[in-house]
Amino acid sequence: MTEKIQKAFIVYCSPAGSTRHVSKVIRKTLESLKIEVVECDLSKKFSETATISKIRRTKNGTCMFVGSPVYVSHAVPPVMNFISRLPQNTHLPVVPFVTWGGASSGIALYEMAKALETKNMNVVGAAKILALHSMMWQMKEPMGMGHPDAADDQMIQEMVGSFLDKMATETSGAIDLSQLTSYPPEIQAEMRKISLKSAHLPKRKIDQDMCTQCEECSSFCPTDAISFRPWPEFENRCISCYNCVRLCPEDAIRADFSQVEARIRARAEQFKETPLSQIFI
């Protein structure tokens, strides 16, 4: 059965804003075609549960876009948790997308698509968009600098157009998920073993002389992982986005990134993945 899409859910996590930017381009494109959009920013309290209950009640003519940044080769936990909470058998057409910082897109897009497929959703497209590497904001010439740019935006708009055409003309339209990671199985297996916890990311230190307990850091935290006891402390659900370090108005939360740049550039050199955006439809 072909479908004329009338409503779209756009769900994303975006600590540093690139994935949100892609979501906005998708939203604008859909709305210009008079398609109703329901947006869910996973960092907003209650938004996720409300969206899931709306998805439960969906009818024909509804689709979903789900976006995540790539963190150490994976999609971030809030996005994978959201997917795991989705109802089974809605058969919704879905387009996962990731933004990545030009080091390695890893297996993030593939893992998202597989998880959506196990919910019996119909993965009809996918996108991988190059973006500023969000751990390199203080560095000279960070990877992904200037992206997503106008050409990336154009690609996203075309992807939405092709997706809608496909929905109107094809019965299944599911894509081959194996194309969503370019790595051979042994490297994929290595990537599966790495996690945010095992990746030895820089630890944060609080400068108690500088911290005014203004709680700005916790307002920017996408996983609500900062508690004041009485100084900021990080709960286990922290995803190491470093928004707290980047955005603290007093510069009171610090991390030593001196080893990070070399490690990221070495990873990019090792994997030699062309730093480009790509759509799969």
Which residues of the shown chain bind ligand FMN in the complex (CB under 6 A)? 14-20, 69-73, 99-104, 106, 131-135, 201, 240-242
Q: Which is nearer to ligand FMN, 5 or 98 (CB)?
A: 98
Minimum Å gap between C-beta 48 and ligand FMN is 17
Q: Which is nearer to ligand FMN, 86 or 143 (CB)?
A: 143
Q: CA-based angle 26:177:58, to the nearest 5?
A: 50
Query: Residue 14 has which token pair?
Result: 């975006």
Minimum Å gap between C-beta 229 and ligand FMN is 24
Minimum Å gap between C-beta 83 and ligand FMN is 17
Minimum Å gap between C-beta 185 and ligand FMN is 19
State the helix-helix crossing angle for 108-118 and 77-85, rounded to 10 degrees. 10
Q: Which is nearer to ligand FMN, 37 or 196 (CB)?
A: 196
Minimum Å gap between C-beta 254 and ligand FMN is 16
End-to-end CA distance of the chain: 18
Q: Quick check: helix, strand or coil at residue 233?
A: strand
Q: Which is nearer to ligand FMN, 90 or 99 (CB)?
A: 99
Q: Which is nearer to ligand FMN, 51 or 68 (CB)?
A: 68
Query: Residue 135 has which token pair?
Result: 């751990």
DSSP 63-97: EEEEEEEEETTEE-HHHHHHHHHSPTT---EEEEE
> What letter represents residue 65's amino acid?
F
Sign of CA dihedral 266, 72, 47, 158: positive
Minimum Å gap between C-beta 85 and ligand FMN is 21
Q: Which is nearer to ligand FMN, 234 or 242 (CB)?
A: 242
Query: What is the CB-side half-sphere exposure of residue 154 using CA atoms within 13 A?
Result: 3
